[in-house]
Homo-oligomer: A and B are copies of this chain.
Amino acid sequence: MARPLILVSNDDGITAPGIRTLVEVAREIGEVVVVAPDGPQSGMGHAITIGNTLRLDKSIAFDDMDIEAYECSGTPADCVKLAKHHVLKDRKPDLVVSGINHGSNSSISVLYSGTMSAAIEAAIEGLPSIGFSLCDYGHEADFSHTRPFVKQIIEQALKHRIPENTALNVNFPKKSGENIKGIKICRQARAKWQEEFDERLDPRNRKYYWMTGSFVNFDKGEDTDEWALINNYISVVPCQFDMTAHHAIGILNEGWQF
């Protein structure tokens, strides 16, 4: 059997340590092609580039591993679109993986996440896909404990497939003294970021702001991604791109008058 073709992208940019870890693991399993942003694209959500041009250039970032790689001026979703319809026009990836993100993309962060937007874009394109994130924002983050699990999850995805129209959102606990307890399939916790704005003055005395904030989890459920991560499990949330609140259709039809 031919080795599976695995497309790798991310949102921290093609030179981030996280994507290097992911490529190193993916190449043990299949043939790898990388199409990733040429710089950081964190927090880009499901942005795409529509009013601007896009650049796509061959990258030397993975020459040491002899892996075909491209860097793109656009967003993670752009990268997947360019990969599918341009770079891999005549070949179909067996799996798309994104990450490993430097920082959590659990619960509500999935909406803001460039890592997950690459995975969700792949799912829209009908490609099985997984976004991987580590709950450690540091550039120097230690990804070593994720490797055997990344490999296991990719192998399971290739063997058992990912349910149609879903992308997996995988988050790893930060490396600690304790061993990871295992993998849990979860739902997205009800949580939000509580923003604060740090107001400052620039050298010309004009105001500007830094967005800061803290994460608030309203959800006590033990079937959530937040519960899993706090308890040192890897969380896997299947995500869909149908945003319809189906339960609300009946409520609106009954309550509203047109």
Contacts and interface: CB of A to CB of B under 8 A. Distances in A.
A169 B243 CA distance: 10
A120 interface: yes
A5 interface: no
A178 interface: no
**Copies of this chain:** 2
A91 interface: no
The range of chain A's interface size is 35 or more
Contacts of A53: 200, 208-210
A238 interface: yes
B209 A166 contact: no
Contact of A243 (B110, B163, B206, B207): B110
Interface string A77-118: 110011011100000000000000000000010111000010
A237 B244 contact: yes
**6 nearest A-B pairs in the assembled complex, by CB-CB distance:** A45-B46, A238-B248, A240-B245, A45-B45, A163-B248, A43-B50
Contact of A108 (B56, B117, B124, B166): B124
B258 A55 contact: no
21 contacts: A42-B51, A43-B47, A44-B45, A44-B47, A45-B48, A45-B77, A47-B47, A54-B208, A81-B195, A81-B211, A82-B209, A84-B195, A163-B245, A186-B249, A187-B242, A187-B246, A188-B244, A190-B242, A238-B244, A238-B252, A243-B243
